A and B are shown apart, each in its own frame.
Chain A
Amino acid sequence: MSAPAGCRMMLRISAAALLAAGLGACAVEGGGYDRSNVGVGVGVGYGGDYYEPGGYEYGNWGPGYRVGPPCCGHDRGHDQGRPAPSIPSHPRAGGGGHGNSGHAGGGGHGGADQGGGHH
């Protein structure tokens, strides 16, 4: 049994189009679509239409489950043997302003840094 000539032609065209599509996919790293169970699509004009898997109950954080940053440097890093740093603490106004670092004004933050040279 063989396909009629017209069908064979359509098949060739389809195969060529699929091959071109495949090559295109190789050219676009990542492909752009759902590589996991997370929805990241390509919208018109905006390149990151991101939706998470839903339907999960949130929470179940038990006692002592803490996710915030350290504030006073009492947690020690296992490599450096010095406390973990905290988040930037310098206020925006009067602290150096835009274009400068939060360390401006003699700052830094440190409760976190006693005992440890910076890198």
Chain B
Amino acid sequence: MMNKYLLGTLCTLALVSTGILSTSAAPAPGIELPPLTQPPSTEAHPGKVIWADLVTPDLKQAEDFYAGLFGWSFQPAEGDRNFAVATVDGRPIAGIVQRSMSGDHKRQPAWLPFIAVRDVGAAQRSVKANGGKVLSPQRDYPMRGRQEVFSDPDGAVFAVLASSSGDPPDVLAEPGEWIWSSVLVKNPDREAGFYRALFGYEIFDQDSEDSRKHVILASDDYARAGIHALPDASHRHPHWLNFVRVEDVGVAAAKAVHLGGKILVDPRPDRQGGQIAVVADPSGAPVGLMEWADTADQSDAPGAMAPGTPQVPGATPTPGTQPAESP
């Protein structure tokens, strides 16, 4: 005898499933995100981290923390009062959105980096063809562009963004701005291949004083991110870690604690010659702190590269590789 309760459950499941899928297919969210660059530029820098979002259960707490730590200002995004856009000197650099964690204590907030692409559809195909996963449907924001969230073969989550206003210029990050990104993974070699196929990166092995694999990903002849083997003793899920430039890592780390955060990795010297540290905001989201010597002599060698990095269209591909977003 068919149990009527079972039938009812099936009906409910079917309707709920249909509702969820309808929601995820929504092409035009009712939120207006500001353009990445204003006025619009024609620059395109595939592989460059150009934005970051944080989903947090307490927007006000996050605003207070990041304003106090980095001097960020905030303005609400149109169409969603739970979404704030962080700016530095009027330039939008990040988004913070408040969403409930639904009592799931096995999860924690984390910054989600957005990496520049020309074609989100091509990026998606590359992700799927090279062992990654699609985690959310493509989204179009009128002034921002098209974006999509993926995970790499190791499970580290990132997003891609085809900016409708061009990509931000390649300039030295100022204090308070994102300066660097790393992805800490279990299989750096496989990951390097994945990201190379997706963004057309050049791959540079790094000398290291430990026995771990460290790789630099470069595009436009600039270092864009690092891939690092997770420390053996770490049980951390593979993840992206994004760094903000600060004047003094020690001072910033202490300030983070004063603001309700905590230190995850104590200040320590790194390969760039300055200190780095990792702190967690009050909700637990890790964020890196990095010093960078503001000296012109560490750069600007004549003839390094012709002025003007790849414009739209026609990026310079890595030798022997073809970035996913190229036709």
In the complex, chain A residues whose CB is within 8 Å of the CB of B135: 30, 32-36, 38, 40
Complex CA distance for A21 and B20, rounded to whole angstroms: 9
Cβ-defined partner of A106 (8 Å) among B107, B179, B307: B307
Q: Which size bracket describes the interface of A in this complex?
A: 35 or more
In the complex, chain B residues whose CB is within 8 Å of the CB of A51: 55, 101, 104, 107-110
In the complex, chain A residues whose CB is within 8 Å of the CB of B13: 14, 18
Cβ-defined partner of B169 (8 Å) among A43, A52, A74, A101: A101
Complex CA distance for A62 and B232, rounded to whole angstroms: 9
Cβ-defined partner of B151 (8 Å) among A35, A65, A71, A107: A35
In the complex, chain A residues whose CB is within 8 Å of the CB of B17: 17-18, 21
In the complex, chain A residues whose CB is within 8 Å of the CB of B271: 66, 68-71, 75
In the complex, chain A residues whose CB is within 8 Å of the CB of B170: 88, 90, 101-103
Nearest B residue (CB) for A43: B99
In the complex, chain A residues whose CB is within 8 Å of the CB of B243: 68
Complex CA distance for A66 and B250, rounded to whole angstroms: 17
Cβ-defined partner of A50 (8 Å) among B11, B104, B110: B110
Query: Which secondary structure dominates where chain A touches chain B?
Result: loop
Q: How far is the CB of B164 from chain A (nearest CB, A)?
A: 15
In the complex, chain A residues whose CB is within 8 Å of the CB of B252: none
Q: How far is the CB of B124 from chain A (nearest CB, A)?
A: 7
Number of interface residues of B (CB under 8 A): 132
Cβ-defined partner of B299 (8 Å) among A98, A107, A118: A107
User: Does B280 have its Cβ within 8 Å of any Cβ on chain A?
Assistant: yes
In the complex, chain B residues whose CB is within 8 Å of the CB of A46: 29, 31, 80, 83, 97, 99
Q: A84-B218, A85-B223, A90-B172 are in contact. Are A66 and B278 (CB under 8 A)?
A: no
Complex CA distance for A41 and B159, rounded to whole angstroms: 13
When the two chains form their complex, are residues A29 and B137 in contact, meaning their CB atoms are under 8 A apart?
yes
Task: Give chain A's interface residues, CB within 8 Å of chain B.
Answer: 1, 3-4, 7-8, 10-11, 13-15, 17-18, 20-21, 24-25, 27-72, 74-80, 83-92, 95-114, 118-119
Give 29 CB contacts A-B under 8 Å. A10-B11, A17-B11, A18-B14, A30-B134, A32-B25, A34-B135, A38-B237, A45-B31, A45-B83, A46-B80, A48-B159, A51-B107, A52-B237, A53-B108, A53-B237, A55-B105, A57-B235, A58-B234, A68-B270, A85-B221, A98-B39, A100-B43, A102-B170, A102-B309, A103-B307, A106-B302, A106-B307, A107-B299, A113-B221
Interface contacts beyond A85-B223, A119-B317: sample of 13 additional A-B pairs, CB < 8 Å, sorted by A: A8-B2, A18-B17, A24-B22, A56-B234, A75-B207, A77-B202, A88-B172, A90-B171, A99-B43, A100-B308, A101-B169, A103-B306, A119-B319
Query: 10 nearest interchain CB pairs?
Result: A64-B209, A30-B134, A108-B304, A32-B24, A17-B14, A89-B299, A54-B108, A110-B304, A110-B301, A84-B204
